[in-house]
Amino acid sequence: MLRLGKREFDAHEPVVMAIVNRTPDSFYDQGATFRDEPALARVEQAIAEGAAIVDIGGVKAGPGEEVSAEEEARRTVGFVAEVRRRFPEVIISVDTWRADVGEAVCEAGADLLNDAWGGVDPRLAEVAARYRVGLVCTHAGGAEPRTRPHRVVYEDVMADILAVTVGLAERAVALGVPRESVLIDPGHDFGKNTRHSLEATRRLGEMVETGWPVLVSLSNKDFVGETLDRPVKERVVGTLATTAVSAWLGARVYRVHEVAETRQVVDMVGAIAGHRGPAVARRGLA
C-alpha cells in the first residue's frame, strides 16, 4: 500500500503527479505558472484531468540564476498554503533538496517532499520524519544540485541506483518517515547520460522488485529529446512511450506536464495488464 496525505493507493493503482513550476525560467513552460493565478489554475486543471498529486517547485532543476533558500521559500510556502486551502483533498508535494524549505512547506500543509537531488541535505529526511510526511528518495549520481552530468561512468548504473535509493529509503524509515509513504526514483537525466537513463528505464523492474513504490519523472526530459532528436516542445510522444514501458514494468507514480495524456496511457496499460476493466464495454454486445 502507498499512503500519501489523506489518500491510500492499492498495489496496481497508478498515481499521476502534476508538475507546477513556481519559477520564471522552467525549461518546459518558461515561467507560465510563476505567478499565483496561473499556477492555481494549473492545479485546478491538473486535478480535473486526473492528477492525485501536485508537485510544486521553486527552483529550476538545471543551471541558471542562483536561487537562495529564502527566495525558494517565498515562491513556494504561501502557494502551498493557498493550494491546501482551496483543494483540501489534493496531495501536495514540494520539489526541494533543502531542509529549511522542507520544514517551511510542511508547516504550510505539504504532504510529500520530493528530494530530486539524492539526499544532498540529509536533514531533509529528518524533516519528513518529524512531520510524518512522505519522501521521494532519488538517485542523482552524487551530483550537486542544478549541475549537468559530464562524462559520468557507472560500472552498473542500475546497481548504483538500487544501492543509493534503497539506502536512502531505509534511512528515512529508520528516522521515522512512515514506510508506506516512501518512494524511490531512478532519477532520469540526473547524474546520467542518455544511455544511462534508457538502461534505467529498461531495467525498472529491478527497482519494483525491491518492494518500494517507484516514481518516475520522465516528462519531456533530455534523454527523450536526444533519443529521438527532438526539441523540448516535441518530446510528448517519446515521453508517453517511455511512460507506457514504465507502467508495464510496475512504476506507481508518474511526475508529468501532460496529465490527461498520461492518465490515458497508464489506464490503458493497466487494462491490458488486467488490473482494471474498460471504462465502457459495449462492443459485440448490441
SS3 of residue 124 by DSSP: helix
Is-contact 21 259, C-beta < 8 A? no
- Contact partners, residue 101, CB within 8 Å, separation at least 6: 58, 69, 72, 73, 76, 77, 94
Question: Listing from the earlier edge strand, what are the strands of the sheet with 253-256?
Answer: 182-185, 134-138, 112-115, 91-95, 53-57, 15-21, 253-256, 215-217
For the record, the C-alpha cell of 42 comes out as 494549473
Does the active-site annotation cover 203? no
- Locate 104 and state its grid cell: 517551511
Exactly one of 42, 75, 221, 252 is catalytic; which is it?
A: 221
Three-class SS state of 278? coil
Phi, psi (rounded to 5 degrees) for 191: 65, 25
Q: Let me know if 221 is a catalytic residue.
A: yes
Helices (H), the chain: 36-48, 69-86, 99-108, 123-131, 157-175, 194-202, 204-208, 222-228, 236-249, 259-273
Displacement of CA 12 from its chain's centroid (Å) = 18
Contact 95, 114 (CB under 8 A): yes
From the candidates 255, 263, 276, 282, give the one annotated as an active-site residue: 255
Give the active site residues: 221, 255
